[in-house]
């Protein structure tokens, strides 16, 4: 059994805490023991019912070699920053895959990845280090996803999609087959990408059409 510290104590950390508890109850085996959380804002911790105490701040934490770490901050502004800082100090990050997720035997999943409930990772998919696949996200066959990405719930990548690093995909966004997306992009909720995206772009709907059905 591995002792685990979760970085962050906001909503995403609360989800991870519950994912671990649920999965271990379902498989009737305790693989991880969450011993605490880190957050520079203690008010975040008070919003949720965590299974372990707040151990202190993120920035002043001294990495422990008797513990493993999970990144529980989904905000891209801080995600890579803290992962690189902790890693340089010797932190050992683990990958967590929820018991209800489907991961193909031919898929490759990197270090520090979190795969949430009911996610689907298809054949020949590659998931880079420290990427978050949120609940019910679906990675179609032969899709390649880089590092430090945040994939929101219900995101669907069609087959042969290729995603770079440090991207945020909003809830219910999707790609058609073969789309390529570069680095550091933000894809708004509900967007369906039918064209490639390079780097440092924000993709959103400028206009929204509202249709009313009026009975006669």
Q: What is the pLDDT of residues 17-65, one digit of tens each?
A: 999 999 999 999 899 999 999 999 999 999 999 999 999 999 999 999 9
Asked if the model's pLDDT at residue 210 lies above 80, the reply is no
CATH superfamily for 96-199 is Hexapeptide repeat proteins (2.160.10.10)
User: For 56-85, how does the pLDDT look when each residue is reduced to its tens digit (9 = 90+)?
Assistant: 999 999 999 999 999 999 999 999 999 999
- CATH 3.40.50.20 segments of the chain: 2-94
All CATH 2.160.10.10 domain ranges in the chain, comma separated: 96-199
pLDDT at 13: 98
- To the nearest 10°, report the CA torsion of 77, 125, 187, 96: -40
Classified by CATH at the fold level, domain 2-94 comes out as: Rossmann fold (3.40.50)
| pTM: predicted TM-score of the whole model, two decimal places | 0.92
CB count within 10 Å of CB 182 equals 18
Share of the chain above pLDDT 90, in %: 92
| Residue 207 confidence (pLDDT) | 57
What integer best gives the mean pLDDT of the chain?
95
């Amino acid at each position: 059994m591995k002792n685990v510290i979760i970085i962050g104590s906001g909503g995403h950390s609360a989800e991870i805490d519950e994912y671990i508890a649920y999965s271990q109850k379902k498989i009737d085996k305790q693989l991880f023991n969450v011993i605490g959380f880190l957050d520079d804002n203690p008010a975040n911790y008070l919003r949720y019912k965590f299974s372990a105490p707040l151990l202190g701040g993120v920035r002043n934490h001294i990495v422990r070699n008797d513990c493993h770490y999970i990144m529980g901050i989904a905000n891209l502004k801080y995600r890579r920053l803290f992962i690189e800082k902790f890693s340089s100090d010797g932190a050992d990050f683990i990958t967590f895959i929820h018991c209800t997720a489907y991961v193909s035997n031919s898929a490759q999943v990197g270090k520090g990845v979190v795969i949430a409930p009911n996610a689907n990772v298809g054949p020949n998919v590659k998931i880079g280090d420290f990427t978050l696949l949120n609940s019910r996200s679906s990675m179609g066959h032969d899709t390649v996803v880089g590092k430090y990405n945040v994939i929101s719930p219900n995101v669907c990548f069609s087959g042969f999609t290729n995603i770079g690093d440090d991207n945020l995909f909003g809830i219910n966004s999707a790609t058609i087959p073969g789309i390529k997306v570069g680095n550091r992009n933000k894809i708004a909720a509900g967007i369906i990408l039918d064209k490639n995206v390079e780097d440092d772009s924000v993709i959103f709907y400028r206009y929204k059409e509202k249709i009313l059905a009026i009975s006669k």
